[in-house]
Amino acid sequence: MILAPLRGVTIRPFRETFADEIRVAGFTEAVTPFISAIPGFDPLQDRELRERGTGNREQGLKVTPQFIGKDPVALRACLEKVKSAGYDTADLNCGCPYPMVRNKGRGSGILRTPDVLRRMLEVGCDVMG
């Protein structure tokens, strides 16, 4: 099972504090709360990933960084950085319904632009394999 992200709740300190309980409950992977994929941003400077160090394991859980955005070039740059740091998977947030996110065409708003979504998915598959 995968522990879904919940901004401000399933952050690194929560996962570390409740690592045993999370594993006992059957979770083998955790997805981080979303990190913005914007031009010029280094995702390894995001607090969620910076405080973890490199690699994709934490307290026995596989950790998958989740990105949100609508710029395939920015997403590629972010994915290349996390892949070089040892992450082998990434997640694209296509479901956040929060109006400020959705109205910018990110999260669930990306579903209104199938061509952008397709390009984002192509980048993800290309970089992360």
Is 96 known to be catalytic?
yes
Task: Classify residue 89 by burial, with Cβ atoms within 10 Å: 0-12, 13-18, 19+.
Answer: middle
Residue that has been written with the tokens 């522990």 in this structure? 3
Helices 72-84 and 114-128, axial angle in degrees (round to 10) = 20
Cβ(103)–Cβ(64) below 8 Å: no
Tokens, residue 2:
């995968």
In 3-state terms, the chain is what percent helix, strand and coil (to 5)? 45, 15, 40
Active-site amino acid positions: 96
